[in-house]
Amino acid sequence: MTDTARKPEAAAPDSRFAAKVFPSPNHGERKHADGTPGRRPDMLILHYTGMPVAGEALQWLCNPVSQVSSHYFVFENGHTLQLVPEGRRAWHAGASHWAGETDINSCSIGIEIANPGHPGGLPDYPEEQIAATLNLCRDICERWSIPPERVLAHSDIAPGRKIDPGEKFPWRRFAEAGVGLWAEPAAIRGGRFFARGESGQPVEALQAMFAMLGYGVAVDGVFDAKLEAVVAAFQRHWRPDKVDGVADSSTITTLRDLVAATQGSRTA
């Protein structure tokens, strides 16, 4: 058989930046919060595979035993495959939260970027892979009208549980190309900071800002391990020079600037 075009899995990808379809069985129907079908994706979630060998990660995402998948898979050399149709609910987010949404799989498109991840020393993302991922993201955001503040890391929607795609991911470059939200990180210097164990009104105000940006955080004035994980997730995305879970003045100023940018884009 040389005529692969007749096989159903050889259907055309949804994005012109995917070379072909390589189907995963791990998907279902997109649902609204009330359980009715037909939710449209309005969020984009980026992941790294976190496995030493890209091909093995791809096989895992296409194995019915794994119960995980993504819509797209980007190899180190930029070669891109579509695993799940965009109209379907791929299983990439797991237990997650953002801006009141808890069924992130139903409202998002997920991209797995091949990288061994933190367990493998978090190698730099190769230029070919970043360029391909950026083209794909821009295409998806345009076709689905995904707003900048809803282009997120897996670590943003599952802080404390996930740390991908990691602090080496070039979020600034993506935002400059129109994908995602960015504010120039404030300089890291001394001054008042908040860390685990503290409590009170300033901590509550900090939590309220994280919640405004979208993080699933309790606004109770207690700086516990969960808030520390949120601070670290925020830093991994928006203040990557220092990821320590301490809300220093640079972190708080950068957060404030991002919240302000978000409010601006929502009222524009």
Q: Of how many residues is the chain composed?
A: 268
Among 27, 30, 47, 236, indicate the residue that binds Zn ion (CB under 5 A).
47
Residue 110 CB, nearest approach to Zn ion (Å): 8
Active site annotation includes 86:
no
Q: Which stretch binds Zn ion (CB under 5 A): 4-12, 18-26, 41-49, 83-91?
A: 41-49
Cα separation, 252 vs 248, in Å, equals: 6
Cα separation, 23 vs 37, in Å, equals: 22
- By CB under 5 A, residue 154 contacts Zn ion: yes
Task: Give SS3 for 151.
Answer: strand
Residue from 86, 101, 112, 149 carrying the catalytic annotation: 112
In single-letter form, the type of residue at position 130 comes to: I
- By CB under 5 A, residue 30 contacts Zn ion: no
- Cα radius of gyration rounded to whole Å, the chain: 19
- By CB under 5 A, residue 239 contacts Zn ion: no
Task: Please name the residues in contact with 81: beta carbons below 8 A apart, sequence gap of 6 or more.
Answer: 18, 19, 20, 21, 22, 58, 72, 73, 75
Residue 123 CB, nearest approach to Zn ion (Å): 17
- By CB under 5 A, residue 156 contacts Zn ion: no
Residue 154 CB, nearest approach to Zn ion (Å): 3
Q: Which stretch binds Zn ion (CB under 5 A): 33-41, 161-169, 174-182, 211-219?
A: 161-169
Write the CA distances from 201 to 128, 207, 220, 229, integer angstroms. 47, 10, 9, 19
Q: Which stretch binds Zn ion (CB under 5 A): 36-44, 101-109, 152-160, 197-205?
A: 152-160
Residue 92 CB, nearest approach to Zn ion (Å): 6
CA angle 172, 223, 94 (to 5 degrees): 60
- Contact between 41 and 107 under an 8 Å Cβ cutoff? The reply is yes
What is the set of active-site residues? 112
List of residues contacting Zn ion (CB under 5 A): 47, 154, 164
